[in-house]
Amino acid sequence: MSNFSSIIHKDKPVLVDFFAEWCGPCKMMSPILKEVKDSLGESVSILKVDVDKNQALAAQLQVRGVPTLILYKNGKQLWRQSGVVQKNDLINLLKSHV
């Protein structure tokens, strides 16, 4: 994922979802992230990264479990959590950084 750095260095929040196709909780996050994106629109970017296809990036960022969500803005990591995160919690978090 060569353009990862340029994506996370944007002025708007970028929520990165590290996931795997075989991961049950990751499948639960997908509709939640869609609802978050529908709710917040263009004020936030959501990037999905398959850890099996991007192992070097996952290792570099020390992603040990999936799903792992990391929030960036201007290239800085602002927040990170592993596991399923509820829609309202994500919306509140993202709104505080828009």
Angle, CA 33 vertex, CA 14 and CA 74 arms, to 5°: 5
In 3D space, the residue among 68, 67, 66 whose CA is nearest the CA of residue 77 turns out to be 68
Active site residue 23: yes
Catalytic residue among 4, 12, 23, 37: 23
**How do strand 68-73 and strand 14-19 relate by DSSP bridges?**
antiparallel
Catalytic residue among 8, 16, 26, 33: 26
Active site residue 26: yes
Which residues are known to be catalytic?
A: 23, 26
